[in-house]
Amino acid sequence: MKNATDLRQLLNTIHRKSYSAYKSTKGSYQFGDYTLSIDHVQGDPFAAPSKISVQIEGSKAGFPSHVYEASYQRIALQDYLIRLFYQRIEKFNFKAKGSGKSGLLSISQCGQEVLERTACTIDAVSGDLLIGLEVGFPANGRTINADGLIKILFDFLPECVNSTFFYRNLDSKKIDSVIFLAEDQYYIREQLPKMELTAFVANGSILPRETGVSSKPMKGAIPFVSPKSFEVSLQLPHRKTITGMGIPRGVTLIVGGGYHGKSTLLKALELGVYNHIEGDGREYVITDDTAVKIRAEDGRSIKKTDISMFINNLPNKTDTTAFYTQDASGSTSQAANVVEGIESKTSLFLIDEDTSATNFMIRDELMQRVVHRNQEPITPFIERVKDIYTTFGISSIIVAGSSGSYFHMADVILQMDHYIPKDITDFAKKEAKAFPMNTVSLPELKSPSFARVAKPNPALKGDRRLKMKTFGKDTIQINKEAVDLHYVEQLIDIEQTTALSHMLRFAETNLLDGKRELQTIIDELLQRIQKKGLSSISHYNYLSSNLAMPRKQEIFACFNRYRGLNL
């Protein structure tokens, strides 16, 4: 292997040459305790930055095995190191001057949630580290500025790498606090099903966010306090006793006046499928990690989805056991979202009345009197919500502000009052007796059919050079086909969206063979990632350092919204 001296000599040789001469630097170089690899060189200073990776043997990095043996420990440690490295390189960003992206030093910018990312991976057995970053190779115009790259690779980068990825140079107490928090969060997740709970919200949690576009905690926000009737205490491995609200399995209704915190609580539960960093305020808001946010989604496509539990006997005789549409209505889309949630093996639905189709959620008594039951093809969710729990074991947490009909169906009713929840179950049930519901005889709830075999997209036949683009965290484009993910609300990071684009491409080129069902395809994707790592689904011949792991539920959501999916 070449060494750092060889790289320096090469850079001095190509100084002031045409930018394409940078291509000759590709390869691996030994830099003392780590290996630097130049994996991909940008075509010009205005193109996407060059890809560089740093490899450190576990014996040299020196992290004790007890901080990375378990997957949740490893993900937390990787996340911490990425954040720390990001802080280190910020002071050197664009210090090497030049045209276009010259001098850029970049690694994943993490939000409040802890995600598994390809920017930093630690081998569970050896402790070897692999770090991926982007560097803008400096140039003046399109002439190489090798002096600038020498500053980056020989001065800036070594300082950042040595101060971040070697245990001896880090604050061991800070690392312990990161691992201890991850272990406490994992413990709570493990206890939820044992305690017959869908979620836990610790007393003192700060649920409101700073602004609508900032996920940082709001200053001066009212801390969360559990109603005594739902208060549970847990003995954590490190923080010891923690007390908060345990939301039981079944049907939970959250009500209250406008601006009193109903949707804020639901949003916290929605994102409680992820662990949060210390200081976020939601570190101990832990939700069943299979939970799915369900909403109406006008205009989405639906392909061969069995929505018959909600929609039947359409006037045009359309088969709703294998329903197709390129432009779904609000109620149809929400019905499909529920069924697809079942397909993804969720155990909890999260629903907000404000983003739901009214005719999917409920039909009031007057409407039932005017429009007879046999004239209405939609079976509203209110008539299925209890059966969904008893038949499939899927709980529901529903926010309602205008309709009291769900009082009859709910097992638990919470009222948000100035951001504080109150248990009003007994009172609401008593008041509901004065407004009895019409009893409706429904056919037995049967499991939907998920026999959806995916075939190659004929429009892409023979085209193995599929082009992918990611537009923010909301849209993927595969060749000319856009996948709209705006309403997949638990997708939180652009790197998750980028990973989904790679998964779609990998499936199109390797798995969609007309034999495998969609569930099998996604299971095989996840098995490959678990065995070979997230970057293994990338088609690049170098480390894809900008991927973050989405949940199984978001993978299903992406595939189901891919109009090119041939079912």
Question: Which pairs with CB-CB distance under 8 Å and at least 24 residues apart come from 88-95?
Answer: 88/159, 88/160, 88/163, 88/164, 89/133, 89/156, 89/157, 89/160, 92/152, 92/156, 92/160, 95/151, 95/156
Percent of the chain with pLDDT over 90: 86
Question: Domain map of the chain by residue range?
Answer: 2-170, 193-450, 458-560
* pLDDT above 70 (res 371): no
pLDDT band at 372 (very low <50, low <70, confident <90, very high): low
Question: What's the pLDDT tens digit per position in 322-346?
Answer: 999 999 999 999 999 999 999 999 9
- What mean pLDDT do residues 406-421 have? 96
SS3 243: strand
Query: Is residue 3 within a helix (H) or strand (E), and if so which, with residue range?
Result: strand 2-3
Which pTM does this prediction carry? Answer: 0.95
Question: What's the pLDDT tens digit per position in 225-281?
Answer: 999 999 999 999 998 899 999 999 999 999 999 999 999 999 999 999 999 999 999
* pLDDT above 70 (res 374): no
Among 149-158, 196-205, 432-441, which is the least confidently predicted range? Answer: 432-441
Which residue type sits at 442?
L
Neighbours of 225 (CB within 10 A): 18
Q: Domain 193-450, what fold?
A: Rossmann fold (3.40.50)
Buried b (16+ CB within 10 A) or exposed e, 7-37: bbebbeebbeeebebbeebeebbebebbbbb
Per-residue pLDDT at 444: 82
Strands 241-248 and 231-235: antiparallel
User: Which 8-state DSSP code applies to residue 410?
Assistant: -
Contacts of 341 (CB under 8 A, 6+ apart): 292, 294, 349, 394, 553
Q: Do residues 416 and 265 make contact, with C-beta atoms less than 8 angstroms apart?
A: yes
* pLDDT above 80 (res 441): no
Q: Do residues 543 and 535 make contact, with C-beta atoms less than 8 angstroms apart?
A: yes
Find the helix packing angle between 330-343 and 552-560, rounded to 10°. Answer: 140
pLDDT band at 463 (very low <50, low <70, confident <90, very high): low
* pLDDT above 80 (res 84): yes
